[in-house]
Amino acid sequence: MRAVRPLKIIVMIFLISLVMGQLAFADAEPSVDIGLSYGSVNIGYFDVQSSGGFEFGIDNKSSGFISLMDLSAFTRLNIQKDDGNHLKLGESFPTYELAKVELERMKVIDGSVYLSYDGQWHILYGDYASVEEAQMTAASVGLKFGIELVQPLSSNSLFVIIYSDGQLVLSYNSSIPEMMFKSGFFTYESVQYRNGFLVKRLPGSDMTFINRVSMSEYLYGVLPKEMSGDWPIEALKAQAVAARNYAIQSLGKYSEYGFDVCDTVKSQVYGGYSVEKPMSNLAVDATAGMVLTYQGLIAQCYYHSHSGGYTDAPENIWSAAIPYLKPVEDPFSLGSPNTDWQLVMNNVEIEQKLLIAGYNIGKLQKIRILQRTENGRAVTVQFVGTMSSATLYKEKSRTILGTTVLKSLMFSFDPATAVTRIPERLPAPGVVLAPKIALSIEGAYAEYESKDAIRVVTSRGTTLSRINRIQPPQQIVTTTVDVFEEVDATSGSVTFYGHGYGHGLGMSQWGAKKMAELGFDYTKILAHYYNDTIIESIYNKQN
């Protein structure tokens, strides 16, 4: 891996326009919007606390936060949909200060008046079931406050209303870009977060709650959830770079909901300020602005928990090939948790999961592995039942059975493969790993024994496996191989003997930990898992 250097101007311009449109050239750290409640799972109202109160304003990403209203006296905000009908009292005001003077006069008369913002400030009163009901009281309300201009306002599905301890504080049009509540730290759903939040009412996502933080603040809340915040600093640095790559490539991913990433495994798990650890924060700061690139473009830095001894290629597990994500031997992961695991599944559970996915096979009779990657992952798995069979390709077996249930595709049904031989010695920094000779951990070929069988040499010994499609050796050009491994399921359950955890692409987190413990720095760790990439500095962290 080459030394860290800034991107060339032409590459930076390309990246900014293609991937990071909101970044100021080479200087500004991007902000990240994280959806905490959105879509069909949003709860419709939000309760937020902050001991230091809040500021309400506009957070323009290029010019920073502009405060419109001081809410420092309010330590708890209850945020709801404003679907009521109201009366607007008097004229509109261009500034909060002007509106506040009139509001305070009216509050002497009736404390239920409050401010509303839609680009201008208004004073509102009442919450009526219909605009006609509001109209009926307009004259008496005008006399009450000593004003002539009283206008009924019909309900608007874009507005949000804020209460604090039962007191009406504010309503605003959530469709105005970048309306934000700023706070040093705030608590939402028992989790503490940094900086501030936005609430949007959008079609299909009414309401949406978004935490806005800087890229570094986002990564502070990601690293301890994706890798223990107490792990060696060089492993954490590697994770910080990989997570930054993922985040930058995800900017705008959830644009229909008004944010970039969510806080679950659908993006990267994010726990906010509550999960931050000093060591992982240090790793983020030490690598600020650094990403991996390949031929001038930001790399897709997939990562997983445990490789099982070998990583794999994306075209085998998901779809298209990625040149810098090539299979690598990974002895560093071996010996860590999930090096070996066993899963016993009863037939009824397997049948139900297949049925939910649209495969009605009847009663499960057999499971067959028909194809593996050269590194041993079962990528064509057939479930044979009394009514039909279901043939699942690539990651679909894990998707259907459960990615936390079937921990990886590196599994077999043979108990002889249950225990991995752990290397007695591992490579030290500066030592290049020797190319592997045996191409498999589980069931992939090493060489042909005859025209219809292969001799498999693995860390667990030598076995024979029959191939179900005869091809001369010289014609095999894919990175998968046909095999035929079958288990009888008529006993009512099946035992899987597996190795590793996750999809097996890119960096193994347990492997990174071991490499760091052996003295590899984060650049060497990244170079091991992401072939031919280089580290680039694309922005400087702004303090």
Q: pLDDT tens for the chain, 543 residues: list them.
A: 333 333 333 333 334 443 433 333 346 788 999 999 998 777 778 999 999 999 999 998 777 899 999 999 999 999 999 999 999 999 999 999 999 999 999 999 998 999 999 999 999 999 999 999 999 999 999 999 999 999 999 988 999 999 999 889 999 999 998 999 999 999 999 999 999 999 999 888 889 999 999 999 999 999 999 999 999 999 999 999 999 999 999 999 999 999 999 999 899 999 999 999 999 999 999 999 999 999 989 999 999 999 999 999 999 999 889 999 999 999 999 999 999 999 999 999 999 999 999 999 999 999 999 999 988 999 999 999 999 999 999 999 999 999 999 999 999 999 999 999 888 788 777 654 443 333 333 333 334 344 344 444 444 444 444 433 333 333 323 478 888 999 999 999 999 999 999 999 999 999 999 999 999 999 999 999 999 999 999 876 543
The gap between the terminal CA atoms of the chain, to the nearest Å, is 29
- What is the spatial distance between Cα 457 and Cα 438, in angstroms, rounded to a whole number? 6
Q: Are 51 and 75 in contact (CB under 8 A)?
A: yes
Structure tokens at 531: 């072939």
Q: Are 251 and 267 in contact (CB under 8 A)?
A: no
Specify the pLDDT at position 541: 53
- Three-state DSSP class for 539? coil
Structure tokens at 322: 């990625």
- What is the spatial distance between Cα 21 and Cα 32, in angstroms, rounded to a whole number? 13
Structure tokens at 376: 């041993």
Residue 431, Cβ density class (10 Å: 0-12 exposed, 13-18 middle, ≥19 buried): exposed
* DSSP, residue by residue, 463-521: EEEE-SS---GGG--SSEEEEEEEEE-TTSEEEEEE--BS---SEEHHHHHHHHHHT--
Is the bond into 207 cis (omega within 30 degrees of 0)? yes
- Three-state DSSP class for 415? helix
Residue 64, Cβ density class (10 Å: 0-12 exposed, 13-18 middle, ≥19 buried): exposed
Specify the pLDDT at position 376: 92
Bridge partners for 453 per DSSP: 450, 466
- Three-state DSSP class for 69? strand
CA distances from 192 to 32, 189, 218, 411 (A): 17, 8, 13, 40
- Three-state DSSP class for 184? strand
Specify the pLDDT at position 430: 62
φ, ψ for residue 375, nearest 5 deg: -105, 10
Specify the pLDDT at position 42: 77
Q: Quick one: which of 222, 228, 231, 213 has its CA closest to 284? A: 222
- Three-state DSSP class for 343? strand
The predicted model scores a pTM of: 0.83
Specify the pLDDT at position 480: 83
Count other C-beta atoms under 10 Å from residue 93's C-beta.
19
The full set of domain ranges for the chain reads: 5-19+217-307+507-537, 33-209, 316-424+433-501
Q: Residue written as tokens 């690539």?
A: 394
